[in-house]
Each structure stands twice: as C-alpha cells, then as structure tokens.
Structure 1
Amino acid sequence: MANNQQTEPRIGAVVKDLKGNRFGVVMATIGGLIQLRPVSGGLSWEVAPDGIEALSSRQELTVRLAALNAESRRGT
C-alpha cells in the first residue's frame, strides 16, 4: 500500500487504485495481488499492494455515498 503501510487492507474496505485513478472494494488477496471491484458492482480487477491507497473513514463514506447517489439517479 502507499505511504509505506505494511498491512493488507481489510476485505470490504474501499481503497484507491493509484494507477487506474479509481476506487474499489477489496474482495480478496490472491497470489500477492489485491482483487478490487467497483463500489457500485461490476467486473473486478487486480492491483499490486503498493498500487493502492487506504482511505480515511470520511473518504470511504464519501465514495460510498457518491456511488449510491449515482445508482439512484440511474434508477437501479
């Protein structure tokens, strides 16, 4: 993870993919890679542990709320 953090992110946490500049929910750690999926659901992708940034509780809440608002505007 960025910022020299050595701990793995917890399953279900929202993190920022630094290379893809997008947010994802941590689904698993397999083969040394972190599996993420979009906050609103969709296809997962993998990133190296040093390619993600942990979010503060406030940042995570903001990302989750933005995803819920986007879903409500789409009518899903």
Structure 2
Amino acid sequence: MTADHRPAPAIGQTVRDTHHNRLGIVTDHLGPYLRLRPLTGGREWDADPEDTEPLSPPEALRARVAEVNARSRKPRPSG
C-alpha cells in the first residue's frame, strides 16, 4: 500500500508518474518500485508507487490515441 492507502497499480494498468511527468504501463513490481514502459514502447524506468496515479479508462484511451496520432504525423522513410 502507498502512503495514502491506495493499493499499488496492477500490472498492465496505465499510470501517470508524477515525479518524471510521464505516462507508462506497469510491467512489473520490483521490490518497493514499479517498472513502467512508455505507451509507445521503448526503455522502461522505475517509479515509486507513491509518485504514481492511475489513469481512468477514458484518460488512458485519450493518451494512447494521442500517441498513435503523434506517430502517424511523423514522416515515413521512403524506400
């Protein structure tokens, strides 16, 4: 449990890491920390559960749609 008595987020849950100001998906619980992966994939990072807030389903959906839209705007390599 975290300081405000919330259970730690479950694996697969989308959270906001308030310390790093990033969104991530919980991939593991390592000792006292959470392992988070960026929504678009990439390098994972550790976060203190006390510095995370779960996103509601609508917030998580908006964040994922925004990531997909941002990727679609990037130029594609020709070839």
Please show how residues 22-33 of structure 1 align to structure 2 within 5 Å: 22-33=22-33
4+ residue stretches of structure 1 with deviation over 6 A? none
Segments of structure 1 that go 5 or more residues without pairing to the other structure are none
The Cα shift of 1:11 comes to 1.3
Q: Which residue of 1 aligns with 2:43?
A: 43
Partner secondary structure for residue 9 of structure 1: coil
Instruction: Indicate the structure whose relative CO is greater, using CA pairs within 8 Å and at least 6 residues apart.
Output: 1
Q: Give the TM-score normalised by the residue count of structure 1.
A: 0.86
Q: CA RMSD in A?
A: 1.9
Say whether the 8 Å CA contact 1:15–1:53 is kept in structure 2. Answer: yes
Q: Using the alignment, how far apart are the partners of 1:52 and 1:7 within structure 2?
A: 11
Segments of structure 2 that go 5 or more residues without pairing to the other structure are none
Greater C-alpha Rg: 2
Q: Give the TM-score normalised by the residue count of structure 2.
A: 0.83
Partner secondary structure for residue 39 of structure 2: coil
